[in-house]
Amino acid sequence: MDVDRPEVVAEVAAEFAGYEAALTAGDVDAIIGYFWASARTVRFGVADHQVGIAEQRRWRAAQPPLPPGRRLHGTVISTFGADTAVVNTFFDYPGGGTTGRQTQTWVRLPVGWRIVSAHVSEPAGVPADR
């Protein structure tokens, strides 16, 4: 198995950037479009969780926009073969006192790269610089 093939990493990086742009813009349809359209898609959030794309769509539509200025840092994209990737990143907000963590598993499906599992956390006591 080829790990971290540059062209696959670049593909996933572009998809991840698109997801992040949709997330910070609050574009619910675009955000949901980056996820696998399946009842088996799982997302664990800071204080929530959704199982299935329908549940995630309902939850996402009810959420307020993210605070302005979301920043990513320490992003690592690992790919395995041509069709599987894991993206890990830290995030924070200007003036915030916490650094969040985000992990996504991406799979290349017939419709393109999609998130099949995601986990977001903001552990208490983790300073904004890590």
pLDDT tens-digit profile of 113-127?
999 999 999 887 665
What is the structure's pLDDT at 127? 59
Strand locations in the chain, DSSP E? 42-44, 49-51, 71-80, 84-92, 100-109, 112-121
Residue 55: pLDDT over 60: yes
pLDDT tens-digit profile of 6-18?
999 999 999 999 9
- Give me 118's structure tokens: 């995601």
Residue 95: pLDDT over 90: no
